[in-house]
């Protein structure tokens, strides 16, 4: 295209950029990630004081060692039990981070919950599902300091990646990779 006017080249590049972005969004919505994309995430566990910043996806693959580190950080802090956290949940969190332009770590209220912990919590509160996806490593409760909880909630809703619950009184948002549904106050 060397003989094309500069404005035509710019138009072409803008169109190609838009097409690429559109493909990335639709792939992300399907839970797929472009093979050349690197995905990183940062967490701070409010209960244990532990932090983690890790790349969990690179060169078309989820990284097993990174997934293990995430699963350990998101373990049930009451029982010290852990389970493999869903890579799709991490992808959803990464999409939320990118959508909102967030660079701060996610603060974790709850990641994995053992059946015993979930049972104890469900007896204390109507807001805890007896068959919670937390027990399968498919749910997380988060907040981000400096980011309004309603903004975080709105961003999560827009992704349509699973369940999204708003807990305004407790200042956190629940995300899971189950069926798409919404609740909260």
Are residue 8 and residue 41 in the same domain, yes or no?
no
Per residue, what are the HEC states of 5-54? Answer: CHHHHHHHHHHHHHHHHHHHHHHHHCCCCCCCCCEEEEEEECCCCCEEEE
Predicted pLDDT at 16: 54
Minimal CA–CA distance to 110: which of 99, 121, 101? 121
> First-to-last CA distance in the chain?
55
Contact 177, 161 (CB under 8 A): yes
Segments forming the whole domain that contains residue 11: 1-30
**In a shared domain, residues 144 and 175:** yes
23 with 52, same domain? no
Residues 9 and 43 both lie in one domain:
no
Same domain, 104 and 44: yes
φ/ψ of 95, rounded to 5, equals -65, -40
| Pair 69, 10 in one domain | no
Distance CA 34, CA 36 (A): 6
pTM, rounded to two decimals: 0.78
| CATH assignment at residue 158 | 3.30.1380.10
- pLDDT tens digits, one per residue of 131-175: 889 989 999 999 999 999 999 999 999 999 999 999 999 999 999
- Distance from C-alpha of 106 to C-alpha of 141, rounded to nearest angstrom: 9
**59 Rama class: left (phi>0) / alpha (psi -120 to 50) / beta:** left
Clarify whether residues 86 and 163 are in a common domain: yes
Q: 36-89: per-residue pLDDT in tens?
A: 589 999 999 999 999 999 999 999 999 999 999 999 999 999 999 999 999 999
Counting the structural domains of the chain, the total is: 2
């Amino acid at each position: 295209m060397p003989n094309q006017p500069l404005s035509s080249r710019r138009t072409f590049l803008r169109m190609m950029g838009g097409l690429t972005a559109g493909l990335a969004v639709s792939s992300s919505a399907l839970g797929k990630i472009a093979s050349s994309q690197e995905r990183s995430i940062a967490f701070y566990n409010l209960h244990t004081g532990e932090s983690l910043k890790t790349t969990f996806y690179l060169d078309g693959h989820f990284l097993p060692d990174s997934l293990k580190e995430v699963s350990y950080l998101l373990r049930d802090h009451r029982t010290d039990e852990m389970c493999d956290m869903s890579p799709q949940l991490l992808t959803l969190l990464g999409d939320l981070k990118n959508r909102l332009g967030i660079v701060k770590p996610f603060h974790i209220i709850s990641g994995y919950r053992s059946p015993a912990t979930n049972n104890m919590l469900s007896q204390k509160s109507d807001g805890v599902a007896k068959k919670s996806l937390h027990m399968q490593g498919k749910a997380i409760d988060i907040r981000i300091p400096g980011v309004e909880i309603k903004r975080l909630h709105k961003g999560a809703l827009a992704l349509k990646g699973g369940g999204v619950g708003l807990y305004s009184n407790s200042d956190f948002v629940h995300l899971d990779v189950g069926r798409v549904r919404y609740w909260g106050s």
